[in-house]
Amino acid sequence: MTLTIRVATRADVPAIVRMLADDMLGAAREAWSDPLPQAYYDAFAEIEAMPGTEQIVAEQGGRVIGAMQLTYIPGISKQGMKRAIIEAVRIDSPLRGSGLGSALIRWAVDRARAKGCGVVQLTSDKTRTDAHRFYEKLGFKASHVGMKLDLH
C-alpha cells in the first residue's frame, strides 16, 4: 500500500490526537474524547498560520497512520545555519515496527535539507528507550543534554 506524507489539514486533528494519546506517556497528558477539546483545533490553527512550522501526517489507504510536527528555525550560530526540529512523532500503534516510522523520519530529513537546514534536531523522553534506539539506527546521535522547565 502506498504511503503518502503531506501537510495536515484540520480534518486530520482527531487522528493526530488519537495517536498522541495511544502511548504510555500520551495517555496521561492528552484528552482524547469525542468531540475533541477546542484547544487542539486552536493549536492546529496556530501551527497552520505560523511560517516555518508544519504539522505533517502520513496516510495509507486513506487513513492517517503517522504524524509529526516540523519547525524550521534560523540561527546565528554555526555561521547562520538553519535548523529543523522534529516534534511529537507518532505511528499508529498496530503499525509500529513496520518501517513506516523510518520512512516518515527520512522524509522529514529530506524536507529539512530542501528547506536549507544544516541540522535536524529532536528530543525524546528519557523513558522512551525503544525510540532512542530507533533514532540512533537512523543516524541521530545523543550529542546534547536537553532540559525543560514545566510552566504548568
For 42-55, the pLDDT digits (tens) are 999 999 999 999 99
Residue 1 scores a pLDDT above 80: no
d(CA 137, CA 140): 7
| Assigned C-alpha cell, 78 | 554555526
Pick one of 3.40.630.30, 3.40.50.720, 3.30.1460.30, 3.40.120.10 as the CATH number of 3-137: 3.40.630.30
* Residue 56 contacts residue 7 (beta carbons within 8 Å): yes
d(CA 46, CA 101): 25
| pLDDT band of 33, cuts 50, 70, 90 | confident
Q: Please report the pLDDT score of residue 111 as a whole number.
A: 97
* Residue 57 contacts residue 90 (beta carbons within 8 Å): no
